[in-house]
C-alpha cells in the first residue's frame, strides 16, 4: 500500500465515528475537563460576597447540566467538600458580638420609646398644671395626737369646721358705720379698748371677749345707736357673752361699778333684752377665737409654741380694736393673725401647706389683713389706745408686744405679690 493510500485510510478512520466505549470515554474526559475549568477547589467563585457561601443543590445541578454524571471519586470528593463547607459555615455564622450589638440596638430603641413617653407625660402634666418643680411639702395630721381624747372629737372635727365656715357668712356684720348717725369708727375703737381692759380685770375667758365684740357689731349693723348709749351696748353685750360662756359670770352690779355708775340696773337689763330680741337669741355663732384654736394647732404642727400662741392672740386682740377688721370673716381675721405672728417671729416657711389646707387661705389672700395688723403693732407704742399693747408687754404674756414689727417684710411681700 502506498503512502497516499495510507494517509486516506487514516483520514477516513479519524472521520468515522468511534466505537461506543471510546465515545463514552471521550465524553467523560470532556465533561471532567469542563468541570475542572469551571470549579476547582482552589479557585474562588466568580461572584463576590462578604460571607462564605456553601454550594446548594441547585448550584450543583447547574454544574451537571453540560455532561455526564461525575465519577464516584468526584462524588465522594464533593460530599467531603460539602461537609467541610457546612462545618465552616457553623464556625463563621454571626458571632456573639453581632448578637450583642443587635440586642443593644433593640434595648436602645426601647429606651428611646420610654423616654419619649415620659416626655409626653411630663408635658401633659405641665399643661394641666400638675407639674411642680419644687418637692411637695408633707401634709401633717394635726389631730393624730388627739385620737384617744374623746373631747377632741377627731372623727367630727373636719365636719364641725366646715359648718363654721358656712355659718360665719350668715352671721357676718356688714359695713354699718355709714348708717350710724352719731357714732364712728374712732368711738368704736375707744369702746373696744375699754372693754378689753374690763375683760382682763374680770379675768374672763377668751371666748367671752370675742363673742362680746361679735354681738356688738351684729347689733350695730341692725340698729341705730345714739352716742350716749354706745357704752351701754358694750356693757350689755359683755353681760350676755359672760352668761353664755362663763361658769361664774359677773353680776349686773359688777358692770355698774366698772362703768362708774353711768347706767342703772334697769338700763343694762333693758338693753340686754333689746339686743337679744334683735339678734333673735342666736348666740351660737363662730367667732375668731373658734378658728384661732384650730389654726394655732395647724401652725404648731408637732409641738406647742407658746411664744407663737401669745403673738397670735396679741394680733387677734389688736384686730378687735380696728373697725375695718370687723368687716372680714372671723376665719380670715384668725388666719391673718397667725400669718402676722409668723412674719413677726420670722418663722420659715411663713405659710405651710398644712396651714393653707386648714385655714382655706393663701398668703396672697391674707396680705391686706396682715398689713393692717402689722401697722397697728407698729403704731401701738405711741398711740392713745394702749391697753392691748401694755397687756402683751407684761411677763404674763411673754412680752411679745416688744417684738420688732414686721412692716418691712410685709411691704416686701406685697411688692413681690407673693
Q: What 3 state SS string does 205-221 have?
A: CHHHHHHHHHHHHHHHC
Spatial contact of 207 and 247, defined as CB atoms under 8 Å apart:
no
Domain edge (last residue) among 278, 310, 339: 278
Q: Cell numbers at residue 245, please?
A: 360662756
pLDDT of residue 266: 97
Predicted confidence at residue 114, as pLDDT, reads: 42
> Are residues 411 and 309 both part of a single domain?
yes
If asked whether residues 294 and 340 sit together in one domain, one would say yes
State the pLDDT at residue 140. 80
Specify whether the CB–CB gap between 142 and 354 falls below 8 A.
yes
- Residue 71 · residue 27 · CB < 8 Å: no
Residue 68: all three cell numbers together? 455526564
d(CA 173, CA 393): 31
Q: What are phi and psi of 309, to 5 degrees?
A: -60, -45
Distance, in Å, from the CA atom of 152 to the CA atom of 297, rounded to the nearest integer, reads: 12
273 plus 338 within the same structural domain: no
304 falls within a domain:
yes
Measured between alpha carbons, how far is 373 from 357 in angstroms, rounded to an integer?
22
Question: Which domain-ending residue is among 228, 253, 278?
Answer: 278
- Residue 376 sits in the same domain as residue 270: no
Angstrom distance (rounded) from CA 229 to CA 209: 20
Question: What pLDDT sits at residue 416?
Answer: 80
Contact present, 206 and 253 (Cβ < 8 Å):
no
Residues 295 and 274 in one domain: no
Q: Is residue 159 part of a domain?
A: no
Structural domain contains residue 361: yes
Q: What is the pLDDT, as a whole number, of residue 296?
A: 93
Return d(Cα 134, Cα 91) in angstroms, integer.
58
User: Distance between CA 376 and CA 224 in Å, rounded?
Assistant: 28
Model pLDDT, residue 109? 45
The residue range of the domain holding 256 is 181-278
Using an 8 Å Cβ cutoff, are 355 and 295 in contact?
yes
Q: Who contacts 60 (Cβ-Cβ below 8 Å, separation ≥6)? A: 78
Distance CA(406)–CA(417), nearest Å, equals 16
269 and 305 part of one domain: no
What is the tally of structural domains in the chain? 3
Do residue 332 and residue 264 come from a single domain? no
CA-to-CA separations, 343 to 211, 353, 373, in angstroms, rounded: 27, 16, 11
Is residue 249 helix, strand or coil?
coil
Same domain, 293 and 250: no
Residues 239 and 303 reside in one and the same domain: no
Of 322, 336, 320, nearest to 213 by C-alpha is 320
What is the model's pLDDT at position 62? Answer: 38
- CA-to-CA distance for 371 and 344, rounded, in angstroms? 12
**Could you say which of 253, 278, 303 is where a domain stops?**
278
Return the DSSP state at 178.
T
Q: Is residue 156 part of a domain?
A: no
**Grid cell listed for 208:** 367671752
Question: Is position 155 within any domain?
Answer: no
Q: Count of CB atoms within 10 A of residue 228's CB?
A: 9
DSSP 135-176: PPPPPP-TTGGGTT-GGG-TTTHHHHHHHHHHHHHHT-----
- What residues contact 326, with CB distance under 8 A and at least 6 apart? 173, 213, 217
Q: Provide the whole-model pTM.
A: 0.67
Question: Are 308 and 402 in the same domain?
Answer: yes
pLDDT value of position 54: 43
- Residue by residue, pLDDT tens for the chain (418 residues) are 555 554 444 444 444 444 444 555 555 555 555 544 444 444 444 444 444 444 444 433 433 444 444 555 555 555 555 544 444 444 444 555 555 555 555 554 444 444 444 444 454 444 444 444 444 556 787 777 778 888 888 888 889 999 999 999 888 888 999 999 999 999 999 999 999 999 999 999 999 999 999 999 999 999 999 999 999 999 999 999 999 999 999 999 999 999 999 999 999 999 999 999 999 999 999 999 999 999 999 888 667 789 999 999 999 999 999 999 999 999 999 999 999 999 999 998 999 898 999 999 999 999 999 999 999 999 999 999 999 999 999 999 999 999 999 888 888 888 786 5
CATH number of the CATH domain containing 367: 1.10.472.10
Residue 303 lies in a domain: yes
Q: Are residues 263 and 306 in the same domain?
A: no
Return d(Cα 100, Cα 202) in angstroms, integer: 89
- What sign does the dihedral 5-8-12-14 (CA atoms) show? positive
Q: How many CA atoms lie within 13 A of 25 on its CB side?
A: 5
Q: Verify that 339 and 293 share a domain, yes or no.
A: yes
Q: Is residue 89, in this structure, part of any structural domain at all?
A: no
Note whether residue 161 is domain-resident.
Answer: no
Amino acid at each position: 500500500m502506498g503512502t497516499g493510500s495510507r494517509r486516506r485510510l487514516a483520514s477516513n478512520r479519524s472521520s468515522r465515528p468511534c466505537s461506543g466505549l471510546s465515545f463514552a470515554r471521550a465524553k467523560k474526559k470532556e465533561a471532567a475537563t469542563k468541570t475542572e475549568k469551571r470549579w476547582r477547589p482552589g479557585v474562588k467563585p466568580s461572584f463576590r460576597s462578604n460571607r462564605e457561601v456553601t454550594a446548594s443543590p441547585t448550584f450543583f445541578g447547574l454544574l451537571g447540566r453540560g455532561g455526564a454524571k461525575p465519577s464516584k471519586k468526584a462524588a465522594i470528593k464533593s460530599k467531603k467538600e460539602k461537609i467541610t463547607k457546612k462545618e465552616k459555615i457553623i464556625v463563621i455564622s454571626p458571632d456573639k458580638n453581632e448578637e450583642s450589638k443587635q440586642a443593644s440596638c433593640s434595648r436602645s430603641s426601647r429606651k428611646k420609646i420610654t423616654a419619649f413617653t415620659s416626655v409626653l407625660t411630663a408635658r401633659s402634666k405641665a399643661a394641666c398644671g400638675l407639674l411642680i418643680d419644687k418637692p411637695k411639702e408633707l401634709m401633717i395630721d394635726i389631730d393624730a395626737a388627739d385620737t384617744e381624747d374623746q373631747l377632741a372629737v377627731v372623727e367630727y372635727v373636719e365636719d364641725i369646721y366646715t359648718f363654721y365656715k358656712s355659718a360665719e357668712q350668715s352671721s357676718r356684720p356688714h359695713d354699718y358705720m355709714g348708717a350710724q348717725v352719731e357714732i364712728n369708727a374712732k368711738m368704736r375703737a375707744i369702746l373696744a379698748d375699754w372693754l378689753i381692759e374690763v375683760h382682763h380685770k374680770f379675768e374672763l375667758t377668751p371666748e367671752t371677749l370675742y363673742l362680746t365684740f361679735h354681738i356688738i357689731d351684729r347689733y350695730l349693723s341692725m340698729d341705730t345707736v345714739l352716742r350716749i348709749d354706745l357704752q351701754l351696748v358694750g356693757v350689755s353685750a359683755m353681760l350676755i357673752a359672760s352668761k353664755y360662756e362663763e361658769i361664774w359670770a359677773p353680776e349686773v352690779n359688777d358692770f355698774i361699778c366698772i362703768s362708774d355708775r353711768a347706767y342703772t340696773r334697769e338700763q343694762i337689763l333693758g338693753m340686754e333684752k333689746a339686743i337679744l330680741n334683735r339678734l333673735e337669741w342666736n348666740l351660737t355663732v363662730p367667732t375668731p377665737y373658734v378658728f384661732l384654736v384650730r389654726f394655732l394647732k395647724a401652725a404648731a404642727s408637732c409641738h406647742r409654741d407658746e411664744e407663737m400662741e401669745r403673738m397670735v392672740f396679741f394680733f387677734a386682740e389688736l384686730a378687735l380694736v380696728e373697725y375695718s377688721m370687723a368687716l372680714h370673716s372671723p376665719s380670715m381675721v384668725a388666719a391673718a393673725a397667725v400669718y402676722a405672728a409668723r412674719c413677726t417671729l420670722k418663722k420659715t416657711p411663713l405659710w405651710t401647706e398644712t396651714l393653707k389646707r386648714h385655714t382655706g387661705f393663701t398668703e396672697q389672700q391674707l396680705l391686706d389683713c396682715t398689713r393692717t395688723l402689722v401697722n397697728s403693732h407698729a403704731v401701738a407704742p405711741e398711740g392713745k389706745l394702749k391697753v392691748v399693747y401694755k397687756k402683751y408687754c407684761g411677763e404674763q404674756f411673754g412680752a411679745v408686744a416688744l417684738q420688732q414689727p414686721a412692716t418691712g417684710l410685709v411691704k416686701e411681700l406685697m411688692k413681690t405679690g407673693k
